Every structure is written in structure tokens, then in C-alpha cells.
Amino acid sequence: MGSVKTKAVGPPWLVLLSKVQFYNPCDSHPSNMVNYYCTTCKGNALCKSCHGQHEGHRIIQVESKIPLKKRRRKGIPRRSHLF
């Protein structure tokens, strides 16, 4: 049997994007988390302050559906048997 060849699907920057780590503090602006990616530069993740240095570039914002911190629900005591 011959080997099966697979063809990459999607834009070339998508593979690079999958290797970038998001939601870490920005090196230049430690109080900001990095959650932007410049598909023009194809570099590291950017924060909201670094985003402006890429004017005219194609930027995407990465969003997470997982909360960074658990939120306390109103009306439920901190030491509830539910949590």
C-alpha cells in the first residue's frame, strides 16, 4: 500500500497560531494579557497596548470560553456543599 498524503487546509499562519501561547502577561506591558495575533507578522501574541504598533496589519483577537478565575455566585456561601 502507498502512503497517504495529507494536504494542509487553511491559511499558512493558522499552523503558527496554534503554537502561540495566549493569556500570559505581556513582556512590554505586564498588567495586560496577550490575546491578539498579527497574521501579517506571524510572531508572538500581542496585548491591547501592543496591538496599536501593528496598524494596517491583519489582527485577530483570541477569546477563551474558560474563565481565568472562578466567580463566586451571589447568594451561595463560600463553603457550600455545591462547590
pTM over 0.85: no
pLDDT tens-digit map of 30-42: 999 999 999 999 9
Mean pLDDT, the chain, as a whole number?
A: 79
Arithmetic mean of pLDDT, 47-75: 77
**Which residues does 66 contact at the CB level (< 8 Å), separation at least 6?**
none
pLDDT > 70 fraction of the chain, expressed in percent and rounded: 67
Predicted confidence at residue 75, as pLDDT, reads 54
CB-CB neighbours of 38 under 10 Å: 19
Q: Is the pLDDT of residue 83 over 90?
A: no
Domains and CATH numbers, the chain: 10-63 (3.30.160.60)
